[in-house]
Structure 1
Amino acid sequence: MELISRYIYAVTQKLPEKQRAEIEKELRGLIEDMLEVRTHGGSPSPKEVEDVLAELGNPSEMADRYRGSKRYLIGPGLFASYITVLRIVWTAIGIALGVMFMIESFMDPTNILDHFIDGIVSIVIGLMQGFAWVTVVFGVIEYTGAQKAKGKNAEQVWKPSDLPQLPDNKSRISPAEPIASIIFSVLFVVLFSYSIDLLGVWRFAGGDRMVIPFFNTDVFNRFLPYIWFFLAVSILKEIMKLNTRRWTTRLVGMEISVTILYLILATFMFWDPVIWNADFMQQAVDSGLVTAGSEGYNTVNTIWGRATNGIIYLIGLVSVIQVISLIVTAYRHKS
């Protein structure tokens, strides 16, 4: 029966991935045995199914019993997800800083030892920051969830009708989606935080290696606290996807809100032209990339002007498309 499947799903989603299949089989067998005792081998009625599930108790408490040990760094219900996300974030930070080390070593091979030492220090600091952000995010989820559950338990006793519906194929979220999003977000933020000056036009001439940066580093760095904050919000959103594994109206609303906030931040960042490298064209001339007054110079200058003025419209277009897609997802879920 669907109610039994909903109960098993609610229990197993709170357990580590590798234990779910075995516990699902064991729990289903337990429920079938309890129903057989009640019905003496006959077909159970919906009321008898509800009575058995009520006897088994709240899915969260059942998951605690299967888990066996209580780990309270974050909370038993979230601990497995916490470790998973922490590993993902640490891996992404390590990859990003490793890539940055290779780029800096390639650009300046004479100081590779200095780059190596700086890389080790950056990795240690980055892993500590990643640990802090992930722990804070999960702490917020744990606290708000505990408070909500406490208030709900104070008002009423759990009953089988409280079980969430099983997700259908349209509303399911593959674990690969939030994991990929977390990795991409961390890579993006770490690379922009530690090596924004390497984002530009690379010039190789006569054995010399140089980068003509796109951004004014001092101005861009002012926005880093906001960028790190939005990284935490993004991780929070993806954690909710990992936990629910299905689209809900609340999750769609949060996704739309975050997209709009991203657009607002991008508008503030890129609307003011001072964030761009004001000496970009002059540095291009000095590096020998183009010759002042030439046709190539005019072409690069035109492209540079359009790119700096048009990026906000490109971000806006992508954001609008994403919001429309999320609205369609919400409509399908509601239907």
Structure 2
Amino acid sequence: MPSTATLTERYISATIRSLTPEVQDDVRAELEGSIADAIDARLEQGDDPAEAERAVLTELGDPGVLAAGYADRPLHLIGPRYYLVWWRLLKLLLIIVPVCAMGGVAIAQAIERAPIGTMIGAAVTVGISVIVHVCFWVTLVFFILERTGADTGVKWDVDQLPEPTQNGAGRADAIASLVFLVLGVGAVFWDAFIGFFPTEGDPIAILNPGLWPWGITFFLGLFVAEALLTVVVYARRRWTIAAAVVNTLLAAVFAVWSLTLLVQGELLNPEFLRFVFTDNGVTDETMRILTVITGFALIAFPIWDIVDGWIKTARARRG
């Protein structure tokens, strides 16, 4: 078993070796004195000298941590001064940047007529890469700020206190949803009988007239089902798992139905497309690109509706 002097010296050497030469002697003297005093106190209580020395050094802890305290050097990557700013910015960027990058890659692959497997693989690969880069570079910036002591310029005051979290089941949410649904139904009828797109003659409908009556009836049925769901959620004053599941099914049915019609060329009025695009020199390749972008929009909005429903459900369960 090593002697008391040897253990103490090993501990002190491990502590001061990462310190600057200017402070090593002072720290050595301080540690020697404090360790000796602590050992003497234990010896007075009847402890064995070797065990007393070992206990004192154990209480002092890792010499690297002790040295960091003497050097005023943080051992954390992001400290409390910057942590919340780092975390909030990182979450915001991880919500926005990967989704935009994956969407852009998927659209580009679709325009190039890539197989669906290739499209998904490319989007996922880019998404993972973007997530890694966002995490690394944001953390690196805050690491530098932490080590240099720079000011982020973010100051907190009481005006930044968040409003109470809403679960999407209040009266205002219900009214807004119903108004939106009514406007949607009204837009369908307006498009069919009056037309949104003016011409020198009769207005041209945007939706394919061939959808009447059964296609439009199915479409309006989805609107009615969504309205009923809104009423049920408001009546219960909260989102439930059942409501989220129904909302998911409605959004998925709408996405699949509208996307299928778009791919088959049965969603939009051919006369409208010809008058607006073909007759104005728009090429078939450009029309295909516009179709791809429209298709992604028909997928993106239902996905957002699904995610929003489950977020509200999670908030309601936490509440």
**Is the shorter-chain TM-score for this pair beyond 0.5, marking a shared fold?**
no
Q: TM-score, normalised by structure 1?
A: 0.39
Question: Based on CA coordinates, which of the two structures has the bigger radius of gyration?
Answer: 2
Query: Which protein, 1 or 2, shows the higher relative CO under an 8 Å CA cutoff with sep ≥ 6?
Result: 1
Q: TM-score, normalised by structure 2?
A: 0.41
